[in-house]
Every structure is written in C-alpha cells, then in structure tokens.
C-alpha cells in the first residue's frame, strides 16, 4: 500500500465525534470552500509553509534550494507579491523537495503533508487507546477529503475496526456514490458536512453543486448508518434563519433518522495558515462567530426533534 499524505494526526480531539479521538487529516480535497479552516489540506501535493514570524532571514533555505524558488535574503523585491500577500517562495517553481525545510534552523519552514502508510498511521492512532476506552472515543478520518483517498481510508478503517477502534468518517459527501457507499459502510459514525441547500449557492461558495452530496446523504440516512450532520455556520454564507429552517425541513424529510446536528461556528484562527501558504483569504477580515449566536439557529433543528449541539463536543449526551 502506497503512502498517503497526512497533514496532521491530532490527538485529544474532543469535537470530532464521541469521546477523545485522534483525528487523521488526509491531504487533498475537491471542494474549494471559501471559508476553509485547513487550507494546507486542500492541495494533494506536499507544500512548504513559510512562517514569517519565526524567520530570521538567515538565507539557509536560499542556499539549498535546487530550483531557485526561494528569494534571496537581500532581494530588493522583498518577497513574492501575490494578491497582496508577501511570500518568500515562488510556489510555481517549487518542486516540493523540502531541502529548505531541512535546512531551516528556526523551524520557520515546515512541510505540510507527510507520507504515511496505513500501518504507520494506525500505530500512531493506537497509542491513545486507553483514552478511547475511557471515553467512547476512537479514530476520526478527516481531511481534506478522506473519500478522495478511498483505498487508504478503507484499509485504515478496516484495520482500525479489526483492532477494536471506533471509527468516524468525516466527509463532505462529494464523492462517487458507489465509492461513498463502500466507504461509509465501514464507519461507526459518519460526520457529514452539510453547508447549503441551494445548489447554486453551494457552487458559488464551494466550487461544486450539491446534487451528488445530497444524494449521498439521502442514501446514508436511508441505510441507517449513524450520521452526525455538521454544519459550519459562516457569515454571509449560511447565517440566516431561512437557510436553517430549510435545512431542518430537509433533514427531517429524509427517510431515516438524523442522529445529531452539530453547528460549528466560523472562526478565523486559520488566517496565518493562508499567509504561510502565500495565499490570500476572503474571510481574513471576517470576525469569528460567538457560539451563543448559534442558539437561534439550533432551535430550528431542535424544534424538529433533532438533537443539536453547538461546537460538537464529543462529551454531549443526548
């Protein structure tokens, strides 16, 4: 089995399914949600993050770069200017050899994405078994989009479950239906990201329409697989009562039970990540939402009898 790029294996995750979990973030996603919190997981390639705050401009990276993709320290250009974002790396010239990362004494250059095999991943995940056992927790496979790496995801799920781990699959639902069915059947809980009802709007904000996504959701609920709907509530995208009234109506109309809805308040703590990638971000100046503001939207779902949380704590009890 080929190694797959993983950006992070995050232990002590308490908002990605029940209990204490270890969340594995796979790299690569087909959606382009404009509010994305994890921009380093979008591209399927290894990337270099440049943390300007830590950089002392020693020039070590410039010296080792075989593609001259890094600007010299004394460059009059003061970095590559793109969309008003200062970057020291010419991303189009970078071949992701990571020589610069190795050379950096300040840890200001960091690789996003480490190739890992299923067994390596599982070994890391299993280290926290004691915590899963005491909290009903386990493994959450997220991304990026895990269904994009369906072989890796399938094998990881199978092996994890064979070893007694509880598995959550966190997906956008944007996936070929056969593949989606095969993958979700292997999960204990599917964390299904649901953003907008209107396909045009969906297209506008995420780059794709939602027909396929809704079809997958309908099948999922019909199949009686435990499903937690996760709705990122984003200013200017889906932060109105109407949107949530429609979504609640839709969810309750499905031929099966929704186990829970988690409303996830938008935050802008990922602003730095965009800078590290040399990217601009539409939401850089948008304020984080105070979780209590989501209470009004939660009521739409609760009124339909759906168990709804704000923030998606893994320790809520229905």
Write out the residues near another protein by the rule CB under 8 A: 10-16, 19-20, 105-107, 127-128, 130-131, 133-135, 137, 313-317
Nearer to another protein, 92 or 317 (CB): 317
Nearer to another protein, 33 or 101 (CB): 101
Task: Please work out, in degrees rounded to the nearest 5, the angle formed at the alpha carbon of residue 13 by the alpha carbons of 10 and 15.
Answer: 135
- How far apart are CB 302 and another protein at their closest, in Å? 17
Nearer to another protein, 131 or 250 (CB): 131
- How far apart are CB 290 and another protein at their closest, in Å? 12
How far apart CA 163 and CA 289 sit, in angstroms, is: 39
Nearer to another protein, 255 or 292 (CB): 292
Nearer to another protein, 18 or 278 (CB): 18
- How far apart are CB 241 and another protein at their closest, in Å? 26
Q: Which residues contact 154 (CB under 8 A, 6 or more apart)?
A: 182, 183, 186
- How far apart are CB 263 and another protein at their closest, in Å? 15
Nearer to another protein, 107 or 280 (CB): 107
Nearer to another protein, 14 or 245 (CB): 14
The neighbour count for residue 318, using CB atoms within 10 Å, is 6
- How far apart are CB 128 and another protein at their closest, in Å? 5
- How far apart are CB 38 and another protein at their closest, in Å? 13
Query: Per the structure block, which two tokens stand in for 178?
Result: 């056969």
How far apart CA 174 and CA 222 sit, in angstroms, is: 17
Residue 66 CA neighbour count, 13 Å, CB half = 5
CB 119, CB 152: distance < 8 Å:
no
- How far apart are CB 73 and another protein at their closest, in Å? 15
Strand order in the sheet with 166-171: 114-116, 4-13, 21-26, 138-143, 166-171, 189-193, 227-233, 260-265, 308-310
Query: Per the structure block, which two tokens stand in for 181?
Result: 């069915």
Query: Per the structure block, which two tokens stand in for 277?
Result: 């990638």
How far apart CA 138 and CA 132 sit, in angstroms, is: 5
Nearer to another protein, 43 or 309 (CB): 309
- How far apart are CB 143 and another protein at their closest, in Å? 16
Query: Per the structure block, which two tokens stand in for 187?
Result: 């999960």
Q: Which residues contact 217 (CB under 8 A, 6 or more apart)?
A: 173, 192, 194, 227, 254
């Amino acid at each position: 089995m080929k190694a797959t790029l993983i950006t992070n294996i995050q232990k002590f995750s308490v908002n990605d399914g029940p209990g204490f979990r270890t969340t594995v973030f796979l790299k690569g996603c087909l959606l382009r949600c404009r509010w994305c919190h994890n921009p380093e997981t979008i591209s399927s390639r290894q990337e270099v993050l440049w943390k300007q705050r830590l950089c002392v401009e020693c020039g070590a990276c410039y010296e080792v770069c075989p593609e001259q993709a890094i600007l010299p320290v004394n460059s009059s250009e003061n970095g590559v200017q793109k969309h008003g974002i200062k970057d020291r790396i010419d991303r189009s010239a970078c071949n992701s050899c990571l020589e610069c990362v190795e050379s950096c004494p300040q840890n200001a250059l960091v690789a996003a994405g480490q190739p890992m095999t299923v067994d390596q991943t599982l070994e890391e995940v299993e280290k926290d078994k004691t915590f899963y056992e005491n909290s009903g927790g386990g493994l959450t496979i997220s991304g990026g989009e895990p269904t994009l790496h369906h072989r890796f995801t399938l094998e990881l799920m199978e092996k994890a479950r064979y070893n007694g781990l509880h598995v959550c699959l966190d997906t956008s639902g944007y996936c070929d239906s056969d593949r989606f069915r095969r993958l979700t059947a292997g999960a204990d809980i599917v964390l299904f990201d649901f953003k907008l009802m209107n396909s045009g709007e969906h297209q506008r904000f995420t780059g794709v329409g939602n027909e396929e996504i809704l079809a997958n959701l309908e099948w999922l609920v019909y199949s009686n697989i435990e499903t937690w709907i996760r709705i990122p509530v984003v200013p200017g995208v889906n932060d109105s009562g109407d949107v949530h009234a429609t979504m609640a109506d839709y969810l309750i109309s499905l031929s099966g039970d929704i186990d829970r809805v988690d409303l996830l308040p938008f935050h802008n703590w990922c602003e730095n990540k965009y800078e590290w990638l040399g990217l601009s971000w539409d939401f850089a100046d948008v304020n984080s939402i105070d979780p209590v503001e989501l209470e009004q939207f939660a009521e739409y779902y609760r009124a339909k009898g759906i168990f709804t949380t704000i923030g998606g704590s893994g320790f809520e009890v229905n």
